[in-house]
Structure 1
Amino acid sequence: MITRIVKVVALFAGTFLILSSHINAAIIYDAGPLVFESSGQSMWDTGTAFRKEESVFLGTQWTDKTATIGGIAGDANQQITPNIPAVTVPVWNPTPTWSNPFKGYWTNVQITPAIDAVTIDTRTGAKLNVHTSGKVGLEFGYSIDSGSVDTKANFQAVAELPDSVKASEFFSLITNSTFDDGSLQTQSPKIEAYISAIMQLSGSIDAQACALTFGCANSGSMALPTIDLDQRILSIDPNSLKVLDGIMPDGKAFAEIPILNQSLTLEGGITTTVPPVPGFMLTGPGFTIGTLPSPAVTVELAEMTVYVPDIATTGTGSGENVTSNGRDDLLSLQLDLDGAATMFAGLPPTGMNFHLINAGSLQLSASLDLIDVKAGPVLGVTQDFEFTPTLMADIAFSNPVEIYGQSGFHNNWSGLWSELPQFAINETTTFTPSFWLDATLTNDIGLDLGLVGTLDLLKLGATASLGVFNLDFNPFTLNDLLGIGNTLFETSKVGFSVYDTTFNLFGFNNIAGSPFTLYVAVPEPGTFGLMLVGLVALQLRRRQRAGIRKQGEHCA
């Protein structure tokens, strides 16, 4: 019976040892929010974009200045009568004794009491306190951008860790990363200079009124209307020089001098001479070709314009990547349908151009259109971007570790956080991760072509030119007054790619992660006890077998 009990105990001890060596509770490691940002990287290839922006302010600027209008006279505690002290006289108080019948003492007796001074509030008048902060003057500035991209990516990194591992035995860390969200902003090559009028005013006003003997009353504080004006007086970019940019109802400049944004205009009409002479006239940057001497009345037939594209894109996304796209016109050819109907179909004109001066390089003209209908092809430039971030990690080990598939011991490892290899440690080891991004940017530049039609009502404009310099007074239309667009129709565009590249995007910050520690499993004291019981049981069983053999030999 004892032998059976010992066998059961030994078997239980062995089973417990096997089970206890394989039971490890999982521990969740969370690196927390990981925010990576890069700024001013080139949109063309790996590296930093050339981007510079400076400004100079000429004027006056002040903060929390107070101006007082009016005034208050008098004092809150004006003394009108002085302090009158109390009047006292000495009085003899006899206290005779048998040895001294004249004994006594003097005391002061008050005849009249003291009278305090009398004060009154003599303040009278009223005042306004005006508290202001402001900035008034001119700002001169410029900005240059060779084509840049700004990005942001928010990641989460987690891992499932064992609470302990066996010494020198490979184990896995179950890791995972999630791309929560990100943003992408790009700016195509751009250069701009400007002069702006700055007027910024803010503040508050409070009032105080006082009346004799009644004191003063405060009205409280009232905010003044805020003025925040930043009006471009002049701005210049490769397309044009703009005068009072954005001041017109549709956001256009009051006047514009084309630079690289040049137009060729074809007009047809008759002279104002007697007899009238019909003809055509082609006007371009600094030249006029045609059969219409000055002055003349014409209708516009066609206009071709070349632009310098300015494309800025913005995009957001999550999961795998972030995309953004944008486009701008490169070349447009617009046929004036109402002008063509007047010139070739004999319909009454709905719009006319008045060439007031047409003397060589000096030209001055004005235009008036009751209805202006244009249509034609527009060639544009498109940009499509794709930002693809991948979470990476550098892990440093407090003690050398083995890495599966690599020989020897290592002090660090670098690679995809979601694809950690198996490790083996000989002693308790702390893992310290540092997170970074392996990111790529795809830039796909293309061309597209579509048809666009516009309709303007009551359109009024003017143009002056001297040599190659043109001054266009941006036309004012009834559409602007009504706040409606002028697009009549726009067809789907046919596009194709002309430049496509993918490259590594750098400039991101590294983020130090919280360290975590992995422990090598050590048998607990209870386990040692069960092992001892098993050994004792084995020894007893051996002795028992030895005793049985000896008894057999004696019997023989």
Structure 2
Amino acid sequence: MLPLVAGAVPVTYNLTFETSGQSIWNTGSSYTLDQTNFIGAAWQDQTVSVGGIIGDEDTNLINPLRVTYDVAFAACTGLGFSASTCINGQTAQVFVPALGSRPSVRSCGTWDFGCQLKRAGDLTRRATYDAAYATCRLAFSSTVCRNGQSAKLPVIALGSAPPQYLEIDTRTGAVIEATTDGRVGLEVGIKIDSGSVDAKVSYAASLDIPDTTALTVGSTLSFNPNSLLAGNNMLNTTFSSMQLSVDAVMELSGSIDAEACLALAGCAAGGTQFDIDERAPILGFNQDGEGGIEILGLPPSALNLPVPDGFPASMSVGGYADVTLYLPQPDATGGLDNASNTLKAHGQDDLVDLIVDIDNIVTSAAGAPGLLGGDLPPISIGALDVATFSYDIINVGMGPTIDLVQDFELDPTLWVTLAFDHEVEILGNLVTEFTSMWDLLPDITFLSDATIVTPTFFLTASLLNQTALDFDLNFIIDLLQIEYEFPQLQEEGVIGIGNVLNKGIDLFQSPDLYSRLFDLQGFNALGGDAFTIAFGTQSSLPDTTVTRVIDNTIVLEEIPAEIPASGTLLLLAAGLLGIPGAARRRQRRAMHDAEVRLVA
């Protein structure tokens, strides 16, 4: 050991720690990311309507027949006819004088001339009666002829009075109402086997060895430790194999209801309901694990397309999809970021370019040409068609350009284990070995005349992996278009909900596929030369500040870390930006305050 000159002497160790072949996804060397993300639009209770209906089904109107009846009845009774005669009517009859009974003829003796004279008068009266009776009987009954009849004017029977009010249907007009819920878009599935991360972390770690010539046993010393990331710092990642699937998703439900009314004739209704839950494959890559490509669920050869030879692979199925598939390798490269005092790396690469007609793809895959619309039966009142209409539930086209992006941040912490050949007192404990974060190394009370101190440096590090889809997107939706005609009302037109993206739809739930903070392992340890703290004489410096690489066998006590749980893949953006750094620093302080390892 080198003798110590008067005054505290600074000693600086240039430390380099390395790890390689670690997983980019989680602690250890094997992990597989398997995530599915929806890119599209979702909506609820989107409605559209046109038209209107006026009037009421039961409208009380004054009955014009009653008005006419009342006028005729008043006139009839005003002429002196009774109410019964006015209601029931009467036929006309002429005056017929009553002839009475047929006159009798008396009987007389042959020689009774006075009686015979009167008998002659009787016969004359009877003859006159018979002549009048015979004439009367030509037109009238025997009763009328005998009893006579008075003259009467004809009266037309008015009958019973009609109701004063009429209840009629006055509804007139037409209305169409449509509503829909649903979501439509692309479901992007990505499966990535474990890639690897290599890191090199370099520190300049310094301490002051005090002048102990005037000190006595039991003195407490501070080494004033300090560390700075300096030198060669590197963070590189290597991407791995990938499987990709892109499916068209269409989930739609809703209804179209129409009603048309004509005054006095009534109303009629019609419409339809729809409930569609369809998906269709658009693109598949490496689903078989052998690098195969499928488009619309079929290999390119089945669609008479040339088999792609290498990447990027471009394919076009007219009227359905144009696809350019890349083999992304978003290998990230970076180093020290002085602002955050961490190592950062960024990687981005093309994944896929798409132009797809989703409704055409889904309809073809379902094998139902009328799945998304068509003509509806006309609405009729009796034999009269009062409404005809057709509908188209949705037209949707998407043109996403999707990149795979990875951002990494490595946050290292320098630790030291000090081994003492005699007991020392640290934080009230007698120990021969003490492990601490280098920058938080506490004061030490030396209890022997001379104590040999041997440092071993090691590293802990947390790695934040944020993997996301970055995309530019053209997305057009024309939702629920209805063409209608009401010929009796001379009305026709087209209505629709239109582009739901203009109605405050939350287009993307989250583009993040993965976000995790985890311990990065595999770093070596570094052994340093010993130095001596002696009282009443000179302390000794280490022979050299050059360290030697050794296996890291130091195991820190498990401390609950305030970091996301292992199952949490999607974090809020605020959490991604603000929580991890604070959590890592709280974790460091907790580990130090717990006195990770004290060895007596």
One fold, TM greater than 0.5? no
- Higher RCO (C-alpha 8 Å, min separation 6): 2
Greater share of strand: 1
TM-score by length of 1: 0.39
TM-score by length of 2: 0.36
Q: Which has the larger radius of gyration?
A: 2
